[in-house]
Amino acid sequence: MNVRPIRTDKGHRAALREIEALWGAVEGSADGDKLDVLLALVEIYEAKRWPIGADVDFDPVDALNYAIEELGHSQAELAELLESRSRASEILSRRRALTVDMIHKISDAWKIPADLLVRPYKLESAA
């Protein structure tokens, strides 16, 4: 097992790709052990890189924008997940709230922890 600490966003993206490839590995197998170690390393890196707490102003729309800008996803992918371009646009512009179903779809597809997507956030009022 050749696993190294995650020190950069590029390393983080590589670890996420490896986790996706190993997902479902049998616990206790070599791949299962590697998956466990990678998950722990990603968790440590994310906690240091993007601390989430009561004192941090980071909401679900910020998480989606980060995934689009830094992790290689796109608004078109979000629209496909949500089955509506206008719905994706409304969410990113804070005119529509995420539903539980949307949160599950995004979390599963983009590997964003659901607890980041369920946080309350303020919506912009319609103009």
Q: What is the pLDDT along the chain (127 residues), one digit of tens a residue?
A: 678 899 998 999 899 999 999 999 999 999 999 999 999 999 898 888 776 654 556 789 999 998 998 888 999 999 999 999 999 999 999 999 999 999 999 999 998 888 889 888 889 875 5
Indicate whether 54 belongs to any domain.
no
Looking at the structure of the chain, the number of domains it has is: 2
The residue with tokens 């050749």 is 2
Residue-level pLDDT at 39: 92
Residue-level pLDDT at 61: 93
Residues 36, 13: one domain?
yes
Instruction: State the residue range of the domain holding 16.
Output: 9-49
Indicate whether 1 belongs to any domain.
no
User: Please, are residues 106 and 63 in contact by the beta-carbon 8 Å criterion?
Assistant: no
Residues 85, 107: one domain?
yes
State which amino acid sits at residue 98: L
* pTM score: 0.58
The residue with tokens 């998950």 is 39
Residues 66, 111: one domain?
yes
CATH at residue 98: 1.10.260.40
Residues 83, 110: one domain?
yes
User: Please, are residues 30 and 1 in contact by the beta-carbon 8 Å criterion?
Assistant: yes
DSSP 95: S
